[in-house]
Amino acid sequence: SQTIHQWPATLVQPVGSPLSLECTVEGTSNPNLYWYRQAAGRGLQLLFYSVGIGQISSEVPQNLSASRPQDRQFILSSKKLLLSDSGFYLCAWTRGAYEQYFGPGTRLTVT
């Protein structure tokens, strides 16, 4: 069966510090991968999605970036965090137009 992992679960970082969140998927190959952010009490905001290694589409221009160095690995990064980057970051995968499955998420607080 397929499993999606995200870490860390919780993170507190000062403004201006770098960020690296990692997501890996097991039990499938060539998945579509996604990064979402959810601010407190708000809906999901799609940040990036990838249909293959090295292929990244950005939905929202901001100080975040994403990379897909391996088929089942998706990384979200920032060189300098802003207060507005606080939120619940979710990684997800899907095969084509089928159901999307989410990791447990990382709760980021920028102080």
Partner 1 sequence: RKEVEQDPGPFNVPEGATVAFNCTYSNSASQSFFWYRQDCRKEPKLLMSVYSSGNEDGRFTAQLNRASQYISLLIRDSKLSDSATYLCVVNIWEGDMRFGAGTRLTVKP
| Interface ranges with partner 1 (CB under 8 A) | 32, 34, 36, 42-44, 46, 49-51, 57, 88, 90, 92, 94, 96-105, 107
Q: In terms of CB distance, is 74 or 80 closer to partner 1?
A: 74
Look at residues 86, 60, 56 and name the one whose alpha carbon lies nearest to residue 73.
Answer: 56
Pick the closer one to partner 1 by CB: 27 or 104.
104
Rounded least distance, CB 106 to partner 1, Å: 10
The answer to whether the beta carbons of residues 44 and 87 sit under 8 Å apart is no
Peptide bond into 8 cis (omega under 30): yes
* Nearest CB to partner 1, comparing residues 46 and 77: 46
Q: How far is the CB of 97 from partner 1 (least distance, A)?
A: 5
How far is 96 from 103, CA to CA, in rounded Å?
18
8 Å CB contact between 62 and 72: no
Tell me the closest approach of the beta carbon of residue 2 to partner 1, in angstroms.
12
